[in-house]
Structures are given as C-alpha cells and as structure tokens.
Amino acid sequence: MVKIWFMDNEETDQRLEHHRNPPQYLELADLYRKTGVEYFKINADEYQSDKILSELRAKRGYTYDDEITCSEKCLPDYANKLKAFFTEHLHTDEEIRLILEGTGYFDVRDDEENWLRIEVIKGDLIIIPAGIYHRFSLDMNNFIRTRRYFVGEPVWTAHNRPADEMDCRKSYVKHQSEHFVQFNKA
C-alpha cells in the first residue's frame, strides 16, 4: 500500500524521508478528499496488458505515453535537475506517472499549506491533478524509471508558485473546497 505522510519543515537533504516527530500518516481516501490526487495499483511487469491501466487510458483519453528515467547517470547536471523538480509548481494538465522501477517522492500541498509526501514504488500509478502545487524528489536510492501519460500532445511546462491567477489553479481550488466530490462524479 502506498505510504503518505505529513512532512517536517527541516532544511536537510530533500531525499530524506522528512517525517514529523512522531510520524503522522494519511490514508489514501483522505489524500483524495484533501488534494484530489488519485492512486491505482498496476502490474508493472506486464503494464501493456494491465486491465486497470487500459481501462483508465480509454476512459480518460490518455493517448500519449513515453518513458523517463531519473538517475545520476541518465540526467546530465543531476544536482540542479533535482532542485528544479523540487521547486514548487503546477501544470495546466494532470501529471500521470506509472512507476516501473525504483522509488521516489511526490510532495503535494494540502488545503492548509502542509506538504504531504507520497512515497511511490514499482506498480504505483499516481495522478496529480491540474492546478495543484506540488514537487518531486528522488530518494536516497537516486533512481526511478516511470511511464508518463497524457491526453493528446504532451505539455510538460511547469509554472512555479505563485500561479494563483491561472484558470487551472482557480478551478482546482474550487474543486478542493468541495472535497473533489462533484469532480469525481463528472
């Protein structure tokens, strides 16, 4: 099961766990209610024939997909790339990632400005909604291989915070105030 916890505010290495003391975990259902982030478990070894994934792709129109590896070897200027991924930002579209190998952290803001840390491992598929402030970090293993999905032609542009005047942000905040109930039914 995916692990989610409230982060501390320590300025130490972003790749550490950053648990609060004592650790404070969050259930998956509460993550959705607070942030709209969705989670699915996929068979990473046979993802091409995974039923949950193919249904998800068909239902939500994820027509594009590719693969990306983040590691010291694969990414030139690794230290600076890590910092860029870790800069708080949002996108105009969903960020969809299926973890094929390795591990990492997606951090998302909740409705009270807390950072929630989502630990992702092989087989986890996570959907970060459009308009949510978030960031990504590798962990101490320094390796992750993921598949990315997108509706139509991909746009990977990150808009750093503050981006409160963007339509996608306004729409996100509205759904958040409704705990994503209506959004889910649509």
Binding site for Fe ion (CB under 5 A): 95
Q: Which is nearer to Fe ion, 50 or 139 (CB)?
A: 139
Minimum separation from the CB atom of position 64 to Fe ion (A): 16
When CB distances to Fe ion are compared, the closest residue is 95
Tell me the DSSP string of 72-130.
TTTSTTHHHHHHHHTS-EE-SS-EEEEEEEE-EEEEEE-TTSPEEEEEE-TTEEEEEPT
State the Cα torsion 72-75-79-80 to the nearest 10°.
180
Minimum separation from the CB atom of position 126 to Fe ion (A): 11
Residues making up the annotated binding site for Fe(2+) are: 89, 91, 95, 134
Q: Which is nearer to Fe ion, 102 or 129 (CB)?
A: 129
The answer to whether the Cα torsion of 152, 155, 161, 162 is positive or negative is negative
Q: Which is nearer to Fe ion, 95 or 107 (CB)?
A: 95
Minimum separation from the CB atom of position 128 to Fe ion (A): 6
